[in-house]
Amino acid sequence: MSYSARMTVVLLLVSLIFSAAAAKLLAEDYLKCMWMFDSDSDEEGFVDERCYRGFWLLPYIDVLPPEYVKALSIWYNNNHTRLHLEICRLNIDRCPEQTLKLVNAYLHDVSCTGRGRVLRTKLVHYLSHESPFYDPTLSPEEASRLDRDFSASRASYLLAASATTTTSIVETPLEPKKDNSAFLARVHVGTNNDDQRDMFVIVDTGSSLLWVHCNPDNGYAPAPVFDPKRSSTFRKEMCNDSASACSPSYRWLTCGDKYCRFKIAYVKGDCSGYLGRETFEFEPLDEVEADRFILHNITFGCATISNLRVDGVLGLNANRVSLISQTGSTRFAYCIGNISDPTYPYNILILDDNNEIGLHGSPTPLVVNNHYYINLEGVTVGGQSVMGFNFRISMLMDLGSTYTLLSMSLLKKLEAAVADVIGGNLTRTYSIKFDKAYTLLCYVGFVGRDLAGFPVVEFNFYGGAVLELSAENMFKDNGDGNFCLTAAPSEQYNFDFALLGNYMQQYFYIAFDLKENELSFLKMDCDILHQD
């Protein structure tokens, strides 16, 4: 069907829906559009774009049936246009809630407000083909074991970190002895340093400082390292500088020989060095978005002594030395897609200094206390509450851990509800343990094949926000013909809070508003955020 024919069908449908006056106005706009589209007018390019993007529909978007808006948005998207973006930009405050829910994957401020100062960079999972830790000889069974081990290790360090204040020397919960590091971002440090390959830094919501390996004091550091002497924009952070991060100082920041120094303990390892200021370039999303996002004069840690097997860390904590605070941002967001697929390319981190990142979807109050917490109030499986009574528990948002940690009482209720749904259709297996202690709820089979039709699991949060989880969120294939629930008990780590791991965050756009203290999550395919 030709473009004109499609538009004619649309016009007829709309004419049946709207009043005569609205239909008349719509027809006039449509005819003007078609005339300019087919003419040789000097304004053709402008009006063609205006017409082709569906501007003529915008005055009526509030009263369009949601199914119609969805269908129209999908049609325009498939034809490489962006009706949904224009709807978002011009009508975001007026779109009815049901319409927003249907086209929520297309309605986000990040794309609608233009690039400007929006940082959009790819997140790389540590087992991805793009990761420096990628091991083609690693079997799926070994990869699953690494995930379990790393989640257990991280839980131990999260406990240590959560028990401290912002002045503590235990700054963030990483596992330096293991190669797995959850999600990474690729950055280029400094200028006049083109022969240095990019560095992959761990993206961690539980730490604050951005640091990278520099030329080591002891003569050894895992490659790559940043050489400040070869960069024309590097300078050391002076203690007497009024803008220095050392004043007021954190416990892990000290002033010695007039320069600001840092030392961070990671329980099983540490790193130390001095603070400096430098230019950072973040990797673009793809070849189309060729220009890198460049940040100048950023305070960072230049680690000269370290036994950590990582290039560095990008902390997304909210304290004054974090990248978020330095850019003046009060909002950031990320979207995680299919973690199990090592070729999945659409994981994304978004940061902007205009604070225009959208908080669409389900909002819930956010508690910021070294880490980010939201309040869990209920869990349902297929619409049935697993606890049968109201409760409230703080849940830590963690990008680094694969597994979700719940109190033993809640976990047992959830497992019982899941087992009741599965019934005797699948065979239980008891061979897989979490942290060598807890036997996970596992079955023989495959998630995609054997859990078709599994009901939605809802995590209900304070304020009415609901996280709707599919079988792909709740279960993980282990690569050996069985799969397990992606939840383990928090008691063995003496947690008085729960933890939401990244597997249950798959296929969600998650936005943090540090000014209004809100967090929102929106179900979507992350590739939407890669589109112009």
Distance between CA atoms of residues 511 and 4, nearest Å: 40
ω before 173 within 30° of 0 (cis)? Answer: no
Strands 393-397 and 498-500: parallel
pLDDT digits (tens, 9 = 90+) for 45-54: 333 333 333 4
Distance between CA atoms of residues 282 and 175, nearest Å: 24
Model confidence at 157: pLDDT above 60? yes
Model confidence at 277: pLDDT above 80? yes
List of domains in the chain: 3-107 (no CATH), 119-352 (2.40.70.10), 362-530 (2.40.70.10)
Model confidence at 56: pLDDT above 70? no
Amino acid of residue 324: I
What is the average per-residue pLDDT within 425-445?
94
Model confidence at 57: pLDDT above 60? no
Amino acid of residue 228: P
Q: What pLDDT was estimated at residue 355?
A: 59
CA angle 53, 57, 61 (to 5 degrees): 120
Amino acid of residue 84: H
Helix/strand/coil percentages in the chain, nearest 5: 30, 30, 45
Distance between CA atoms of residues 401 and 206, nearest Å: 11
> Rounded mean pLDDT of the chain?
76
* Better pLDDT: 403 or 162: 403
Tokens coding 230: 């070869």
Q: What pLDDT was estimated at residue 294?
A: 85
Give the number of other Cβ atoms within 10 Å of residue 86's Cβ. Answer: 19
ω before 224 within 30° of 0 (cis)? Answer: yes
What is the average per-residue pLDDT within 513-517?
91
Beta-carbon-side half-sphere exposure of residue 172 (alpha carbons within 13 Å): 30
Among 502, 174, 153, residue whose Cα is nearest residue 347: 502
Q: Can you tell me whether residue 168 is helix, strand or coil?
A: coil
Q: How many residues does the chain have?
A: 532
Within 8 A by CB and 6+ apart from 240, the residues are 258
Range from 70-79, 150-159, 464-473 that averages highest in pLDDT: 464-473
Q: Is the dihedral of CA 14, 105, 108, 521 positive or negative?
A: positive
Q: What pLDDT was estimated at residue 91?
A: 43
Please state the pTM of the whole predicted model: 0.75
